[in-house]
Amino acid sequence: MMKKLIPFVLFSFLFLHACKEKTETSQAVANLTPISADMAENAVIYEANIRQYSPQGTFNAFTKDIPVLKELGVKIIWVMPINPISKVKRKAKGDLFTSEIEDPAEREKYLGSYYSVSDYKAINPEFGSLEDFKNLVATAHKNGIYVIVDWVPNHTGWDHPWIYEYPDYYTQNEAGEIIDPSNPETGASWGWTDTADLNYNNPAMRTAMIDALKYWVEVADIDGYRMDVAHQVPVDFFEKATASLQEIKPVFMLAEAEQPNLMEKAFDMHYAWEFHHLLNDISKGHKNLSDLDNYLAKMDTVLAADDINMNFITNHDENSWAGTLEERMPGRKEIFTALAYTLPGMPLIYSGQEYDLNHRLKFFEKDSFPKTKGAYFELLKKLGALKKSHPALNGGKSAAAYKRLNTDNSSIFAFKRGKSGREICFIGNFSEETQQVQVGYGKLYTDYLNGTTIYQESAPIELAPWGFKIITE
């Protein structure tokens, strides 16, 4: 994985093959090959917020656009929770429940949180039918794309059948009352008052949960799960659950956690939360490139060779609560996006990100965004093509090597990655001032994003503020 710093001399690169964008065929994949380690090497993952993706907010409306996602190099679609949302203690906004709203018209606006599930084996009627969802999965498979479902194993809604039939499936206080999830260190509520905390000390509950997980693999042919708040659920449960699913078909498992031990037996990939927050802090001037170097060096020690980071600059939580990309990293989303694609790991695209989403999507009520393809869409398309075609960007269980390049310039972050005799180089200016970087002598290089040839005897490359280049030979 990570290597020691080396001098920044691009003419030392030994490119054995030219990087060529592979042309995608429009022909549908008849039989999608099972999930494998190879699949993740060049994958892009897409988070589908079905409610907000279209004005209709349905599976069918999303399914129509799956070929568009293929254009972006997407190989995995992560569908946010598909289950019905509880009506009891349904969240409206803040700490307000819909039951506390007197105006019927106002009350109807609030659809609740996707993560307050009322039935693990049912479809949210807001999105359509079971057949609609199965068609979504089948269409993705025909386009060579896998589908994983967002699952909520830590808690349910307050009208889930288990509440009434099996109250011992839930955590209870001294008075025997079911409680909402709480911080195990302090005992204080997380504020997820629209949900009831599940009791993983109950073996019967664990069995029922695994049964529900198997249901969607068997009935809808999904390819795995994204596990919500995975760090709040015992690791041994996930190990058993994953083993049970693997008996049906190979699956891909994503943990909403940054906890390497989860990837020993249970998960393939986890969130690069620290990386995400670091980019936000660099954008604000609170952190610098030394902090990024320290983070990457740490990852080299804490992650196993086959652990996968999910690199992201936004997701549903960040967009709704922390702010839009323009709010958090104004004029800088392009360079941070390129970094997420070129560093080891798998890049994430969140619904609307490809269309320059520039408002905070509402969480508890209907919202949507226009779908106008601009320069950023084209950037994602080019980055996806390079990710797919160039082994030097492999970021899965057999990731390409990473080597930091020393530029003697604290504003420039540069590195090369290589695999199978092929290499790429990333050079980025993380400052508000134009910077110049000496490239080398007597060699032809290609600026991948604009297709121009770089040939310079002594003149340096000039990078605009927050500008970057991806260089291939």
CATH for 29-389 is 3.20.20.80
Helix, strand, or coil (residue 106): helix
Cα-trace Rg, the chain: 23
Q: Over pLDDT 70: what percentage of the chain?
A: 91
For residues 324 and 312, give the distance between their C-alpha atoms in angstroms, rounded to a whole number. Answer: 13
Angle at 183 between CA 122 and CA 259, to 5 degrees: 75
Backbone angles phi, psi at 253, to 5 degrees: -120, 125
Asked if residues 445 and 473 have their Cβ atoms less than 8 Å apart, the reply is yes
Position 459 scores a pLDDT of 65
Asked if residues 84 and 123 have their Cβ atoms less than 8 Å apart, the reply is yes
For residues 253 and 317, give the distance between their C-alpha atoms in angstroms, rounded to a whole number. Answer: 20
Break the chain into its structural domains and give their ranges: 1-19+400-473, 29-389
Strands 461-463 vs 435-437: parallel, antiparallel or unpaired: antiparallel
Could you say which architecture CATH assigns to the domain 1-19+400-473? Answer: Sandwich (2.60)
Identify the DSSP state of 178. B
One-letter amino acid at 417 equals R
- Categorize the per-residue pLDDT at 328 as very low, low, confident or very high, splitting at 50, 70 and 90: very high
Q: What is the pLDDT of residues 140-164, one digit of tens each?
A: 999 999 999 999 999 999 999 999 9
- What does the block give as tokens for 415? 């590195």
For residues 152 and 155, give the distance between their C-alpha atoms in angstroms, rounded to a whole number. Answer: 6
pTM: 0.92
Q: What is the pLDDT of residues 226-265, one digit of tens each?
A: 999 999 999 999 999 999 999 999 999 999 999 999 999 9
| Cα end-to-end distance, the chain, whole Å | 22
Q: Alpha helices, DSSP H only, in 221-264?
A: 235-246
For residues 185 and 406, give the distance between their C-alpha atoms in angstroms, rounded to a whole number. Answer: 42
Q: What is the pLDDT of residues 159-217, one digit of tens each?
A: 999 999 999 999 999 999 999 999 988 889 999 999 999 999 999 999 999 999 999 99
